[in-house]
Amino acid sequence: MIIAIDGPAAAGKGTLARRIAAALGLPYLDTGMLYRAVGRLVLEAGGDPADPVAATAAAKALRAADFARGDLRDAAASKAASQVASIPEVRAALLAFQRQFGNENGAVLDGRDIGTIIFPEADVKLFVTASLEARAGRRHAELCAKGDEVSLEAVREDLAARDEADARRAAAPLVAAADAILFDTTEMDADAAFARALALIEARV
């Protein structure tokens, strides 16, 4: 079984996907981590994440240890991720890994193009959204809890800029698949979102 969970930044996809995977006994893949790790590799090598040659080389060299690292959520890695993600060769280099991961034992995958490009035949597709205000508030609280002193305004601007870039890019833009269930979590806490999403999924499979 493949469950595709897509949507804009900080909509709660990760928390939701992890809990759904645990409930259904499926492996979970946070595909944003792949792009973050590629962006971080380029930055560490002193390169420019917007440079297709450097970014593609990093994507091809990516190893599991690179995206298992815990320090990929900061603003620099987020921006670099969004930059490398707009390069078609980078996306192509990461596609086989994602399909292989899902095809081994089934999986819950979250990202931007899981239901449209990676697994267009997924059993269930959720497109998770929430207002920019709600998403910024949640991400800000998450960063503050980690001791990252960033303003709400800066978080809101970062999310808006990434959403805009992700939605406008030519390569695999952020868009809901025609057969995705639209799932707005603005008024839901994590527990309510999980319960509703699980019920929706169980009704479909």
Binding positions for ATP are 7-15
Sign of CA dihedral 174, 64, 92, 155: positive
Question: What type of residue sits at position 119?
Answer: F
| Conformational region of residue 29, where left means phi above 0, alpha means psi within -120 to 50, and beta covers everything else | beta
112 sits near ligand C5P (criterion: CB under 6 A): yes
- The angle formed by the CA atoms of residues 118, 165 and 137, to the nearest 5 degrees, is 95
Q: Provide, rounded to whole angstroms, the least separation between the CB of residue 6 and ligand C5P.
A: 7
| Strands of the sheet with 107-111, listed across from one edge | 28-30, 107-111, 2-6, 124-129, 181-184
Three-state secondary-structure class, residue 10 = coil
Nearer to ligand C5P, 121 or 203 (CB): 121
Out of 12, 49, 102, 111, name the contact with ligand C5P by CB under 6 A.
Answer: 111
Nearer to ligand C5P, 7 or 188 (CB): 7
Question: What type of residue sits at position 113?
Answer: D
**Is residue 126 within a helix (H) or strand (E), and if so which, with residue range?**
strand 124-129
129 sits near ligand C5P (criterion: CB under 6 A): no
Sign of CA dihedral 41, 169, 16, 114: negative
Q: Provide, rounded to whole angstroms, the least separation between the CB of residue 9 and ligand C5P.
A: 4
Return the residues of window 5-44 that contact ligand C5P according to CB under 6 A: 9, 31-32, 35-36
What is the size of the binding site for ligand C5P (CB under 6 A)? 14
Three-state secondary-structure class, residue 138 = helix
Nearer to ligand C5P, 81 or 201 (CB): 81
85 sits near ligand C5P (criterion: CB under 6 A): yes
Nearer to ligand C5P, 131 or 199 (CB): 131
Return the residues of window 57-76 that contact ligand C5P according to CB under 6 A: none
What letter would DSSP give residue 182? E
- The 140-179 contact track toward ligand C5P, x by CB under 6 A, reads ----------------------x---x-------------
What residues line the site for ligand C5P (CB under 6 A)? Answer: 9, 31-32, 35-36, 78, 81-82, 85, 111-113, 162, 166
